[in-house]
Structure 1
């Protein structure tokens, strides 16, 4: 890898993030901690419905004629039923290596994770892209909440599911985490020794950004204020018997930082919009940040070793520092691949930017 690219200053990204942070702080301190994707106002709680699985191909990518696809369900350790798409190479024989895929944060399997899964299935792997608990087609009530613990467990439950498929060699299972689920994937692999290799793409450490803001700019005093606000929200939720939700970030008002515009471009236009995605005009619960603020997920990243980690990030991504810090803290074997000119969301769906050849060679080597 070009060292000059790896060591490129991230000052411009910090300035952009600072501009976005100033805009968001005008609204509410909790917006910074909640990724700045929505403001905190009371909205009606989402109703939970029984699992109703879609039979149509409603993905944001074309169906491949090189793989077989089917929808599967399985339970995690907490008894929540998860829904996933299982992709398998057509006409493959014998026991195959497998890859579990999750992310981005607030997305569904019909978006980026499904694209990664189908593409890697075309390249010879059995793959599984899943909806995390409380989101998409998966179960869990109330809707649209996240948990660093439960969502880490979702990855291991997906390993359970793919590992019992008849054509999968359970000694050759890998994992891919995209965006906010990249950090969850690392957290899962640290404790799940069944996973032999892990890749993160355009990774976010959700516990870091929710507790410290972008570029760790939130002070102890600001965090205390946010926690006090969230604690008061708990009283309101308890009185109402149902959680309040953040306002959807679905309209650009002008003056947003470029990465906020990029998120809108993906989630709220035909490029990536999906009605079940939290980020596509829906919203997280207001109190979702609480457990993230209190639980750093990458504490034990060194314990992934001696299993290999590949970090992939865009040169121009506002989030690049998450991968760089994780890379520094991880033990060997590890690799950081910076994609020249790429933004954060380029690695969601741009087939000419996502380094699928590198992903393929990495997993073929380490799941051999």
Structure 2
């Protein structure tokens, strides 16, 4: 067991009891008209929210998941790779983001450090396929990670016996779920992880009562009648808009998704929203049911000391089997681990995957 804290002055973060976001309220807070997918088969003009590295090669790639949905990803390869077969990483997240944002930054940075990496747009979002748009699914989005493994494991630059996964924010929970069932993956790291099934079914800090959950399900199922009659899902007001008085973590989301720091027109959280009924499948399909089955493969959980979401990683760590590590970053908020390169522990990620994806290790 390994719990790593980079400070001896850690204090518990306060829990906002007043925030009892159910699945419906999460959806209601993140709704707007969706964008159609835009398929591009080459690298094209640099459209990321982070600078392009001159130490890696970049390529836009397209492949299909097990359900036949076309996924679009950004493949990053170290320029000094020569003819070697390298370890590889599938990188996804955050929930409502696109590959041009946080996952692309992680992927490019890890490619600079010697890994072949692929950041992808999940099904129904970004440049990936699937209709209607801006739908999330605990099953299909778990499958998306395995589809990346399918693709990257067949690349000529990759040693398919040395594949790892990085999941960020809401795709951290998806990543853990995928690795539990996909034994081809040899190691997994999650950063500022959200368990979206827990959040949507129980609210923040598990504060939703059975009565509130029942009311939410009744509301969502009434919405299904309306969607069925219209033939299209309902969407609502834009996500991450501020009216004043919001908790700090919502202000932090706005600061990343709605400003030049991280805005991207294809991101649900920047310029669109989820369908109203997106929470339904999350509310009775817990993502981390089989987290123990990741063992004996290693799990690394990274979270900010001051993140409102820190308890997700703490309870996932408690539920996981050895070998497992929990790394708490002093002073860091949830979104600091999206793009603050001086805060994200890339050295730790590098050493973790170098050790556990070592050549000849099974």
Normalised to the residue count of structure 1, the TM-score between the two structures is: 0.92
CA distance change for structure 1 residues 188 and 5 in 2, over 3 Å: closer, same or farther? farther
Instruction: Provide structure 1 residue ranges, at least 5 long, that are not aligned to the other structure.
Output: none
1:344 to 334, 343, 348: 334
Tell me the secondary structure at the aligned position of residue 107 of structure 1: coil
| Deviations 1:142-188 (CA, angstroms, capped at 9, x unpaired) | 00010000000000000011100001000000000000000000000
TM alignment of 1:246-261, pairs within 5 A? 246-261=236-251
TM alignment of 1:154-173, pairs within 5 A? 154-173=144-163
Take 1:7 and 1:341, find their aligned partners in 2: how far apart are those partners? 9
Which of structures 1 and 2 has the larger relative contact order (alpha carbons within 8 angstroms, sep 6+)?
2
Tell me the secondary structure at the aligned position of residue 271 of structure 2: coil
Does structure 1 residue 9 correspond to structure 2 residue 12?
yes
| Aligned equivalent of 2:107 | 117
TM alignment of 1:1-368, pairs within 5 A? 1-2=4-5, 8-10=11-13, 12=14, 14-15=15-16, 18-21=17-20, 30-34=23-27, 37-38=29-30, 46=34, 48=36, 51-52=39-40, 55-93=44-82, 94-368=84-358
How far does residue 348 in structure 1 lie from its aligned partner after superposition?
Answer: 0.2
Normalised to the residue count of structure 2, the TM-score between the two structures is: 0.94
The answer as to whether partners of 2:86 and 2:158 remain within 8 angstroms in 1 is yes
Cα RMSD (Å): 1.8
CA distance change for structure 1 residues 350 and 3 in 2, over 3 Å: closer, same or farther? closer
Number of residue pairs the alignment of both structures matches: 353
Instruction: Provide structure 2 residue ranges, at least 5 long, that are not aligned to the other structure.
Output: none
